[in-house]
Structure 1
């Protein structure tokens, strides 16, 4: 743990224990530096971290203060937290969530609905005009022969650009391992099909991204739910027990900024996850579509970085970071690359060639990293705005774990609140949310909701949060 993280944790503990009360001023930078023997920059880093977590806030020319009506930062499913790991390995589950998911997806089609339930950030955050120029240029100069030569595995220029981004992140991958797909969802589908048969068992996160559940449902696979901690991600102890008890054929995990919890698996735990699965020779399907949306100084390493045997299939996409609607994703499929490519050829042949060429052009000339820095800053600002609104309008018993990347906020509401009732009542007021039960094949997390802060914050957003708070309080009986 770095010095600023240790100091931040010390202050956080004072807040959690009530020593520093809501609204109280935390030690000044100068005082904290002198008292604890650390540099002012270390104190600032710690306070910035606490601010991102929603514990403190800055007041101009006054210093830092504990947030009013502080909302605690730790959250996990209570029924999983209180029992031994051995009792958390549940029976395998047939998956049937699509009708519930479709009702949520339908709720965001109306452009007048506040899209807190959406799975996507606002298109307004992306350089769509610059992408359009890349699309025009790339298609104008496209060699007609590529319509035959550039079927799967995809546009070689785009694959080279993706390989370069892996290299910059410290991961050397041969281009032969990379396959371009119709978004990350197709990549994930192909990976599952490459290593499973109908009725096989797949270890998934709980809560899990609902599209994962729909894929299992479509492929007639059974789920083994592994709990996710909101700070550390997938529970490795429970996963190990599940691997010992069940003939699991694959593990699907979002290791960075998990949807819906926002959990970020620490680097050492990613290494341990890969080693655990290697021991059991179980492939890891790594869903990493939010990996570029980190808020700190350094990008999180994917679990793929610790893969020595080609067991990790790393899936990514430009839909969440650059080009929604272009439907361009990819997979670095390790030892399964050839099988995944052949499945791709048997199903959809190739991803859109103009879209591939456009993104390849943008990655070369469009300033992708500059765009990403701006996008991250915007999302972090919007996170602060939503956390502030939760503090102002939601019941004090609400628990939330502020993420360090992505654009989702996972909230545990008071025990008596039914998230599906919140969903229907909010929709009647023109507000979409994602209720907890859509993230579990067993319809758990009934008092949890996921909110999307990927839309620019406006007065409408603020009013919608106030309305949500009123709805939740009304369902508590006061």
Structure 2
């Protein structure tokens, strides 16, 4: 009978987790309170907790109690590994991107489209204090040109942060940029020429596509697993068939898939590219937003010849409006530094010094400890709502970090038509064709989960599901 009771309690707690009473990262009540709630003994609750821990529903934290694990208990069925055509192509159809991201500035719009975190997820007060301290901490310098490679104080803090990603680099190896997008463009210009072939994941972040299109280059899509990322075997075959000049990849919580390559796969991909002499431009803007510790290492951690051009930013963590990014371009540093000067001369002084101050005071680590759980809960809520209200047969990714969700709808649902219908009702989406150089993924959408969970947001998600069901037939 005792066994039945603890299993019953475990099932009841698991149901509460599934129903959202306790979300990912939430602390469960203490054993005595749970014992009173269920009318059982403390020993029965302890046995139930051990069972839930074995099942992966909760986890113990020393001297703190039990917490709901940040990974969902019943993962959704993910999309299948992509199978692109396997030949280089010009990038087209990117004009839509501007319309989608512009919707992020419309206050009346429900923001499911652009991957921009709402202010509620950001350390606004801490940044305000850091900004106010800049004139005192850096007298006179806050009005100067911070010429490349950028303020040494900021580069020092960035170098310390990159150690958490397995990268042992000095501040002299870093070039500060206006966000990660400039770092990506500069890195691409440093290693490739117009007309060259650039390897990408499929699907991939539209910012990478715009960088390739803007330089007159060709994109070569490689099959990509929604959990593990790019296929090393397919990459090796592409390198044999085509004169690839560079690879642009997002190994950690890539956008839009949310995949995170294993350390073994990162090592294999880096070694393969190094063997062929192909530079890797790594976009790691979501690396700090792993739902569970430890932070995954960057692909750059496995390089041996300085061929990985690492691009990072604080836009997804501290604030999109700061536009503080950087490149750690390895052996291409001098070239990137010159291109940075030629393109925009310098970076804004105030934001760079403010970020250096915020990081130096330890505020960034404290903030990350909180926001990782916030994003995990946000993604879990959106995922649960999609599972409940979108058409039968809908698949969705299972990201372990970041705050976007990639959703595969039934083939009869045209994502562009769905985008237009939702936009007419004040809801912004990111349709799948934005994430392909030839506008594939016509029945996919990407959802931004980094919004406050309230009645309006939940209703918007449900309405998108209704519109999709109408088109699914």
Q: Smaller-chain TM-score range? A: 0.7 to 0.9
Are residues 1:364 and 2:368 paired?
no
How far does residue 391 in structure 1 lie from its aligned partner after superposition? 1.8
* 1:224 aligned partner: 220
* 1:295 aligned partner: 291
More displaced, 318-327 or 129-138?
A: 129-138
* 1:65 aligned partner: none
Tell me the distance in 2 between the aligned counterparts of 1:447 and 1:145.
51
How far does residue 129 in structure 1 lie from its aligned partner after superposition? 2.5
Q: Which one of 386, 397, 406 corresponds to residue 410 of structure 1?
A: 406
* 1:7 aligned partner: none
* 1:18 aligned partner: none
Contact 1:139 1:357 in 2 (8 A): no
How far does residue 46 in structure 1 lie from its aligned partner after superposition? 5.8
Partner SS for 2:177: strand
Unpaired stretches in structure 1, ≥5 consecutive residues = 1-21, 24-29, 57-70, 81-87
* 1:154 aligned partner: 150
* 1:443 aligned partner: 439
Matches of residues 334-345 of structure 1 in structure 2 within 5 Å? 334-345=330-341
Tell me the distance in 1 between the aligned counterparts of 2:72 and 2:393.
15
* 2:12 aligned partner: none
Contact 2:52 2:58 in 1 (8 A): no
Contact 1:52 1:402 in 2 (8 A): no
Are residues 1:248 and 2:244 paired?
yes
Any idea what the Cα deviations from partners look like across 1:166-192, whole Å, max 9, x if unmatched?
234443112221111100110111000
Partner SS for 2:212: helix
Q: Residues 96 and 47 of structure 1: is their aligned pair in 2 closer, same or farther, counting only changes over 3 Å?
A: same
State how many pairs are aligned. Answer: 424
Tell me the distance in 2 between the aligned counterparts of 1:193 and 1:315.
14
Partner SS for 2:398: coil
Tell me the distance in 1 between the aligned counterparts of 2:170 and 2:99.
42
Contact 1:150 1:156 in 2 (8 A): no
| Alignment RMSD (CA, Å) | 2.4
TM-score, length of structure 1 as denominator length: 0.84
* 1:91 aligned partner: 87
TM-score, length of structure 2 as denominator length: 0.85
Are residues 1:74 and 2:85 paired?
no
Are residues 1:474 and 2:470 paired?
yes
Tell me the distance in 2 between the aligned counterparts of 1:175 and 1:213.
29
Contact 1:139 1:358 in 2 (8 A): no
How far does residue 41 in structure 1 lie from its aligned partner after superposition? 7.8
Tell me the distance in 2 between the aligned counterparts of 1:53 and 1:446.
28
* 1:113 aligned partner: 109
Contact 1:53 1:401 in 2 (8 A): no
Are residues 1:352 and 2:348 paired?
yes
Partner SS for 2:320: coil
Tell me the distance in 2 between the aligned counterparts of 1:449 and 1:382.
17
Are residues 1:279 and 2:275 paired?
yes
Q: Which one of 455, 458, 466 corresponds to residue 459 of structure 1?
A: 455
